[in-house]
Amino acid sequence: MTIKDEFHFIDKIKQTKNRQPQLVEGIGDDAALYKAKPDYLEIVCADTMAEGVHFLKDVSSPVDIGYKALAVNISDVAAMGGVPKYYLVTIAVPKNWSEEELVEIYAGMDEIASFYSMDLIGGDTVSTSDKLVITVTVIGEVQRDKQRLRKDARPGDSVFVTGTIGDSAAGLQILLGNLSVDEDNASAFLVNRHKRPMPQVKAAQLMSFAERISLNDISDGLASELNELCEASCVKMIIEKDRVPLSDSLRSLNFEQLDEWILYGGEDFELVGTVPPSAFDLLQKKCTDEGISLTKIGHVEAGPSEVLLIHNGKQTKLKKSGFNHFK
């Protein structure tokens, strides 16, 4: 590891001032202290990104790597209906990463953390003989009885997604050199959607008026996330393929793997969920008023836990397939 002095490194990455008023003690002691708010539930989630599996040093800058490492955790908090507050970072560093590159990783995390007024409150830094590994833990909060769970879908609900689907998977193929896009703007848009996902925290907050919403974030692919909702709620979903929202950049592509990216590509970090049809129109209007796209793509029925895709009059069962670390 190229860090010569851990304490000097900590001084480089820690914040100069706190962003959350509930933070009592941040970096500098054995552990952090913060005051929990009454009538709120605490949300805790963690994700690990490993070099060579989740990112490649030769196609992503350290700033982009740091940004995404935190963004994926913020998206998990949004999927619970919550707001992110604090984060901790444990990083295992091999010798081929410089201290300057590590500082840039933290700068990328601070870029998105500042947008959500999050505080870095701790973590650990160790050396490793192999690849760089980053584990981020995020702490958030959600108002009691407003938490959004996968198990809350019911027959008759409308199925929706935010944003557009499949962009990140296409962006990854561009970065890997497997896809050539003639239009520079389209290429830049798709690559940015892969490197710099924007978690849908605002959209989740706009859903707080509804008594019941099931929710998931699209990390492993639309098909996988829909199946998780069905399994948790013991329901069946009918999805209309032509309703799945696509960006103009993705629509401009004529590539045989397009459907694969849309259904199984993952890492869009949009939200997918269900809401009673009586609340859908108001939810869609609230999102539209805030510049957030929200699209109905199907409905929920009673039946076995499965997802059926309708396209050109044909019905296909969507497998629970997507990104899997062990396959």
Backbone angles phi, psi at 77, to 5 degrees: -65, -40
Pair (80, 182) in one structural domain: no
Q: Let me know if residue 284 belongs to a domain.
A: yes
pTM for the full model?
Answer: 0.92
pLDDT given for residue 322 in this prediction:
59
Pair (112, 161) in one structural domain: no
Q: Tell me the CB-side half-sphere exposure of residue 100, using CA atoms within 13 A.
A: 1
Has residue 165 got a pLDDT over 70? yes
Q: Let me know if residue 327 belongs to a domain.
A: no
Of 76, 111, 143, which closes a domain? 143
The whole-number average pLDDT for the span 18-44 is 92
Pair (107, 219) in one structural domain: no
- Each residue's pLDDT tens digit, 92-143: 999 999 999 999 999 999 999 999 999 999 999 999 988 999 999 999 999 9
CA distances to 14, 16, 67, 139, 151 from 28, rounded to whole Å, are 9, 12, 23, 19, 40
Q: Can you tell me the distance from the alpha carbon of 276 to that of 214, in angstroms, rounded to the nearest whole number?
A: 10
Q: Let me know if residue 74 belongs to a domain.
A: yes
Pair (87, 182) in one structural domain: no
Question: Which residue would you say has higher pLDDT here, 68 or 11?
Answer: 68
Pair (157, 302) in one structural domain: yes
pLDDT given for residue 182 in this prediction:
80
Pair (70, 174) in one structural domain: no
Pair (184, 65) in one structural domain: no
Q: Let me know if residue 33 belongs to a domain.
A: yes
The whole-number average pLDDT for the span 295-306 is 98
Q: Let me know if residue 323 belongs to a domain.
A: no
CATH label of the domain that carries residue 260: 3.90.650.10
Pair (130, 237) in one structural domain: no
Has residue 214 got a pLDDT over 60? yes
Pair (170, 311) in one structural domain: yes
CATH label of the domain that carries residue 100: 3.30.1330.10
- Each residue's pLDDT tens digit, 243-279: 999 999 999 997 788 999 999 999 999 999 999 999 9
Q: Let me know if residue 324 belongs to a domain.
A: no
Q: Let me know if residue 325 belongs to a domain.
A: no
Q: Let me know if residue 266 belongs to a domain.
A: yes
Pair (21, 155) in one structural domain: no
Pair (112, 185) in one structural domain: no
The whole-number average pLDDT for the span 219-234 is 98
Q: Can you tell me the distance from the alpha carbon of 325 to that of 201, in angstroms, rounded to the nearest whole number?
A: 26
Has residue 1 got a pLDDT over 60? no
The whole-number average pLDDT for the span 174-199 is 92
Pair (234, 166) in one structural domain: yes
The whole-number average pLDDT for the span 207-224 is 97
Give the domain extent around 202. 150-318
The whole-number average pLDDT for the span 297-316 is 97
* Overall domain count for the chain: 2
